[in-house]
Homo-oligomer: A and B are copies of this chain.
């Protein structure tokens, strides 16, 4: 399966990875959040080849996570700034950092510390339910089919990644709905 096929998978994880799921893209975005904006800055910080960087920046601009913004005309030079869509990647970087801080330390401790402006404490943000506010993790969550899957099932398409066990459950859901 190729990148562009992943993009059309009926799965938000797969779709997101089709944009940011390579070796470099999230590192570029990390740098954006730390204040980098220019080609050479990214190249020096990250250490990828100029070729790859051109490619990845173009992709991020295409997908509208970054905006290419001219800052001089002659010679033409641009900087890359985060759009709203790009800024929304922040939680992904925060959770990746959290995992790395916990599980990938060398002997020297955490590389960077997050601080919460409001309470002025060091923080490693955690997920909480956006309805009741309680903290939430894999053990107190479950999934059900959303409209995106149900509509495909109604059209006879079975999203490849959904385990048979769940598919059956989802089809039962459909039948129950139909009987109403």
Contact = CB atoms under 8 A, between A and B. Distances in A.
Given A12-B96, A21-B22, A163-B45, A121 B110 contact: no
A160 B41 CA distance: 11
Interface in A151-180: 151-152, 159-163, 165-166
A132 B108 CA distance: 27
Contact of A17 (B23, B33, B124): B23
Contact of A136 (B17, B125, B166): B125
A61 interface: no
Interface in A14-51: 14-19, 21-23, 26-27, 30-31, 33-36, 41, 44-48
Contact of A163 (B22, B36, B140): B36
B119 A132 contact: yes
Interface in A130-159: 130-138, 140-149, 151-152, 159
A4 B98 CA distance: 20
Contacts of A165: 35
A118 B96 contact: no
22 contacts: A11-B111, A12-B96, A12-B100, A12-B104, A13-B93, A16-B104, A33-B138, A34-B166, A90-B138, A95-B127, A108-B147, A109-B148, A113-B146, A115-B142, A116-B129, A116-B131, A119-B132, A122-B131, A123-B141, A125-B141, A126-B127, A127-B128
A53 to B, nearest CB: 11
Interface of A: 1, 3, 5-6, 8, 10-19, 21-23, 26-27, 30-31, 33-36, 41, 44-48, 85, 87-106, 108-119, 121-138, 140-149, 151-152, 159-163, 165-166
